[in-house]
Chains A and B, each alone.
Chain A
Amino acid sequence: MNSFSTNWNAPVTDRRRFIVGLGLLAAFPCVWAQGRGMAALPAVSPAPTLRLKDADDKMIDLAQYKGRVVLINFWATWCPPCRKEFPSLGRVRKLFKPGEFEVIAVNVGEDPDAVFSFTGITDFPVVFDRDSKTMGAWSVRGLPTTFLVDRQGRLAYRATGGREFDDPEIVNLIKAMR
């Protein structure tokens, strides 16, 4: 059993320790900055069904996107990392042609009006999983969770926790899948 402890509140009494403490604090947001990359799923399997309505009651079906790489993002407005990464969904969407890559944001358990006040108008579909059954079918373990679905409709990559989706590491993954 490995053990390691840090007393974050320990008093600092001299300049040197104080500077070290400030340095640690300055590094702190790096820890809580978004995660990096996406993990390849060990076995490539067909993506579960995703058929949900958007705020205009239009049915969005993942099956209609076959032939494109699709990024599926499960999220909620009350989830801080979800809010932080959301703008990067629009940015990565703009890096590719509509015929080769699409983003679908799946809001979990919220009212479309409340969601719209956060998202505004987006360049990609935002659909609503009001009873979280779709989230269950996709074996999501926490919010946010994001999947990359390949052109054949198979699950290829997953990320749990926030990301910046226009990060070169993720953009290169998408490029390689086109």
Chain B
Amino acid sequence: MRVWSFFLMAFLFAWNVAAQDGMEMRHLVRQGAIALGVNPLTASARNAFYEARGFTVAAIRPYAEACGFSFGMQNATDRAMRTSLSDWHAIGADGARIAFTLPEAWDAQWERAGVPAAARIAFKWAQFQTNNAFEPGDWIMGMATLKGVPKAPFRLVARYQDNRGDHELVLDKLECARD
């Protein structure tokens, strides 16, 4: 009984801390000291976030309605690593491979739509960047969207490189978030 109580308290404490930080992730994969957290994001959550930063509902709609995630990636190794979002993709239950829309493509759309500069700056830095470099101890968060909606449940493949070569992290049984 004591063991159960200990784990239950640890769980509740951990959950509370993570929730307070606003950094909880629903899916997690680790490879040694590399960790990737993935949180599917609803359209309403993204609408609210970007409307508060200067987007109109109409402007942000295509982004908010795309299948999107918040990523958090940490490098707790003693060597540098890097990622390229163009190497990441989803594989739907039907086997179809779907790439990510790069932040630069969204920004070109915002420019054409006349989105205010401050809103574009917030958008740019809220994304998981096209290219990320992680020094030892670094961790980076950001949002990203897929170019299409994979048939659920789908697999996410996230690649990274370090001085030992190419590696990939795989998360299964994902679904796009719905309101």
Contacts and interface: CB of A to CB of B under 8 A. Distances in A.
Contacts of B133: 141, 160
Contacts of A26: 7, 10-11, 13-14
B92 interface: no
Nearest to B122: A109
Nearest to B124: A132
B53 A35 contact: no
Number of chain A interface residues as a range: 35 or more
| Main secondary structure on B side of the interface with A | mixed
Given A1-B167, A32-B24, A84-B21, A39 B135 contact: yes
B163 interface: no
Contacts of B166: 1
A78 B168 contact: no
Contact of B137 (A22, A36, A81, A131): A36
A106 B169 CA distance: 34
B29 A161 contact: no
B35 A31 contact: yes
A55 interface: no
Select the residue from B21, B35, B76, B166 with max chain A CB neighbours within 10 A.
B21
A7 interface: yes
B97 interface: no
Contacts of A158: 135
B37 interface: yes
A120 interface: no
B14 A3 contact: no
B145 interface: no
Interface string B12-27: 0111011001111111
B170 A29 contact: no
Contact of B23 (A2, A81, A160): A81
B140 A160 contact: yes
A143 to B, nearest CB: 5
Interface of A: 1-10, 19, 22-23, 25-29, 31-32, 34-39, 76, 78-81, 83-84, 108-111, 130-132, 141-143, 158-162
* Across the A-B interface, the 9 shortest Cβ-Cβ residue pairs: A39-B135, A109-B121, A161-B139, A5-B170, A26-B10, A80-B22, A160-B138, A22-B7, A4-B31
21 contacts: A1-B166, A1-B167, A4-B29, A6-B171, A9-B27, A22-B11, A26-B7, A26-B13, A31-B30, A32-B37, A34-B139, A35-B139, A38-B137, A78-B53, A80-B21, A80-B22, A108-B125, A109-B122, A130-B118, A143-B125, A161-B140
Given A2-B31, A6-B30, 9 more contacts: A5-B169, A23-B7, A80-B22, A83-B22, A108-B125, A142-B129, A158-B135, A160-B135, A161-B138
